[in-house]
Amino acid sequence: MGKSRHHQPSTNRIVEVRIEQSWKEVLAEEFEKPYFSLLASFIRKEYQETEVYPPGGKIFSAFDLTPFRDVKVVILGQDPYHEPGQAHGLAFSVQPGVQIPPSLQNIFKEVTDDMHVPYPNSGLLERWAKQGVLLLNNVLTVRRAAPLSHQGKGWEEFTDRVVELISTKREHVVFLLWGSQAQRKGQVIDTSKHLVLKAPHPSPLSAYRGFFGCHHFSKANEYLIQHGKNPIVW
């Protein structure tokens, strides 16, 4: 699964997941659970039989680019972009040369207003990920042209656990929860040792209800600085 090229003959075996080592250690128990074996089996079949995004080797890109010990900020998305050439494993991010999608346009508008920086010319968010921003989707794969097609297969349980582990094992992380789904997912976060910032989703349908003007990017940096961490260059 992920970057593994080898077919696993049985779902009874522990699933071999190619993922950054610090995440592999913290999630080791998760990969042994029955639901994850079923999920892995389903995902392999989907990649063999249909067109699925992101590319198989990019499923865990968010984890590979932002090791567990380096997470400073968590941004929760929904599921990957479902059109060709867009998704590459980071929530909201698109590959170079791809037109910036509407929600990301609104994120960039808020960044430019909040941080007084130029509007980016690319929707690639790897530069955020490499600074410690975990760009985590609720569901990590999707069938072409079929949004939410991999919902309810086990990804939600896996990503819920990721959020819970960050909350319990790390301190002073900023969680940016945009929209009702992300806010439900964030209910497990320990607000006594983390900063949780909530706003409407940045989609064109809801951004004007309070996402614009939320100042989450400057607030995140203020909190990081207060706790002795380098701010994010948004």
Which of the residues 79, 114, 160, 190 is marked catalytic?
79
The reply to whether 70 belongs to the active site is: no
Residue in 83, 80, 55 with CA at minimum distance from that of residue 144 = 83
**Which residue type, as a one-letter code, is found at position 145?**
A
SS3 sequence of the chain: CECCCCCCCCCCCCCCCECCHHHHHHCHHHHCCHHHHHHHHHHHHHHHHCCEECCHHHCCHHHHHCCHHHCCEEEEECCCCCCCCCCCCCCCCCCCCCCCCHHHHHHHHHHHHHHCCCCCCCCCCHHHHCCCEEEEECCCCEECCECCCCCCCCHHHHHHHHHHHHHHHCCCCEEEEECHHHHHHHHHCCCCCCEEEEECCCCCCCHHHCCCCCCHHHHHHHHHHHCCCCCCCC
Dihedral through CA 92, CA 74, CA 120, CA 140, nearest 10? Answer: -20
Positions marked catalytic: 79
